[in-house]
Amino acid sequence: MPLFEVAIIQKPTKKETDEGTGTEKLLFGPKPVVARDGQSAAIAAVTGTDAPQGLDMSRAEVLVRPFA
């Protein structure tokens, strides 16, 4: 199976963006994940044992890239 690097970034809320106080935060990774494809790697990062607790998926951006 291929190796992927996965990271999860938390986006600021609309209110924080409008006020200019919001910044993106790195919540997870980049960490190596062995998976069948990129989508499986993203799911493994979000639902795995190392996944951030209380993750708000409406504000999260999951970034996946093949490790090569």
- 43's enclosing H/E stretch is helix 38-47
What mean pLDDT comes out for the span 9-28? Answer: 86
CA dist 33 and 38 (Å) reads: 9
Give the pLDDT score at 38. 95
Q: What is the mean pLDDT of the chain?
A: 90
Share of the chain above pLDDT 70, in %: 100
Q: What is the pTM of this model?
A: 0.82
Cβ 9 vs Cβ 24: under 8 Å = yes
Residue, of 67 and 41, whose pLDDT is higher: 41
37: tokens are 């494809």
Domain that holds residue 56: 3-66
Chain centre distance of CA 66? 14
Structural domains in the chain (count): 1
Type of residue numbered 30: P
Give the pLDDT score at 65. 96
CA dist 49 and 45 (Å) reads: 8
Give the pLDDT score at 35. 95
